[in-house]
Amino acid sequence: MEDKLMLMIPGPTPVPEQALLDMAKHPIGHRSKDFEAILEEVTQNLKWLHQTKGDVLMLAASGTGAMEAGIINFLSPGDRVLVGSNGKFGDRWAEVAIAFGLNVEQITVEWGKPLDPEQFREKLAADTGKEIKAVILTHNETSTGIINDLETINKHVKAHGEALIIVDAVTSMGATNVPIDEWGLDVVASGSQKGYMIPPGLGFVSVSAKAWEAYKTAKLPRYYFDLGKYSKAAAKNSTPFTPPINLIIALQRTLKMMQAEGLDPIYKRHQRLMNATRAGVKALGLPLFAPDSCASPAITAVAPVQVEAEKVRSIMKKRFDIALAGGQNHLKGKIFRIGHLGFVSDRDVLTAISALEAALIELGVDSYTPGAGIAAAVAAINSKSD
């Protein structure tokens, strides 16, 4: 049905109507006093969301651009780095690090399993010469719906003392707790079309005092992504280059919405959406790709055996105008992924689960009692466990 699309992919995520209307406002000059005031407010509220007193910088770039900036500003050619890889995005950060001539050691786990903190501990403990300059990892692996144990891995990095921790929080920021100052996360990158509830085009990088120290001697070449320029400009409520004005004005709106909801309620909502989605999928007899212990609060991957994943996606789209994500790389055709990140309510999950049941019926799958998916999802929503 025309104009009826419902996005349940891990990005772009749904955008609130008020933020869409902000997108349609005529841009104002980015060197004006009016825009300075907007930048000042947005920057303060970004610090609130990031739970940091440090810098949170905005770039006209995707999340990948933000992560690249997070890597190249703090390292020099040949620096030894550990990169955690258990999905498409972990692999990508290894590619970035290799492209810039870093000495990359990947800590790899099969897609669909979480990174093993013990492997990080061993490598870091063995590095008595303090050669490891950074540990780079993805908090929430969007490609598999796995959340990695950032807190524990970070403790091992802190025990090492020298290495920076550089985190892809693209699909965890605004979905689950990422207490930057409390944990001492050095560099945390994210992108606008996720928990921020606005369209794509704006990247974010937080930078700790320790990372700024490393910046002073870091020799990888950079200009557009030189975070020093962004920090210097931000101190004057400005930007070094023309920013995506409309997105920043929409972000001003959604950050206020997030503050009205509160960080803890936002995290609890995502936890509830995850629980309801997983309960509903399970009750429909479809296997979940990620174990409960490391299930992502932002995205649920489903690995159906009775039916082809792409057929489910196709019917969900054609019959119900619900966009789900497919698998990536070798998981293409093997899984489908339900996004429940950002501006998503309990109602949206009920909608998705009920449509999923209808799609399974159409595909002749009878691995469940009719209505069981919704019954389980409703029970999960109403559970007082949180």
List 87, 90, 117, 201, residue binding a copy of itself (CB under 8 A): 201
Q: Is 15 in the site for a copy of itself (CB under 8 A)?
A: yes
Q: Which residue has the tokens 């891990």?
A: 10
Asked if 35 contacts 28 with a C-beta cutoff of 8 angstroms, the reply is yes
Task: Name the minimum Å distance from CB 210 to a copy of itself.
Answer: 24
The yes or no reply on residue 259 touching a copy of itself (CB under 8 A) is: no
Instruction: Rounding to the nearest 10 degrees, give the CA dihedral for residues 44, 45, 47, 53.
Output: 40
Write the DSSP symbol of residue 377. Answer: H
Decide whether 55 or 68 has the Cβ nearer to a copy of itself.
68
Does 195 engage in binding with a copy of itself (CB under 8 A)?
no
Of the listed pieces 149-157, 158-166, 192-200, 373-381, which binds a copy of itself according to CB under 8 A? 192-200
Shortest distance, position 101 Cβ to a copy of itself, whole Å:
6
Nearest to 78 by CA among 105, 107, 101: 101
CA distance 207 to 211: 6
Any contact of residue 25 with a copy of itself (CB under 8 A)?
yes
**Residue 27 binds a copy of itself (CB under 8 A):** yes
| Distance in Å, CB of 72 to a copy of itself, minimum | 8
Residues 94-133 touching a copy of itself, rule: CB under 8 A, are 95-96, 99-101
Q: Of 323, 358, 378, 379, which one interacts with a copy of itself (CB under 8 A)?
A: 323
Quick check: 68 binds a copy of itself (CB under 8 A)? yes
Q: Among 145, 199, 304, 373, which residue sits at the site for a copy of itself (rule: CB under 8 A)?
A: 199
Q: Where do the DSSP E strands lie in the chain?
A: 6-8, 55-60, 80-85, 103-108, 132-138, 140-141, 146-147, 164-168, 187-191, 202-207, 299-302, 322-326, 336-339
Q: Footprint of a copy of itself on this chain (CB under 8 A)?
A: 5, 7, 9, 11-12, 14-15, 20-21, 23-32, 60-65, 68, 95-96, 99-101, 191, 193, 199-202, 220-226, 241-247, 323, 325-326
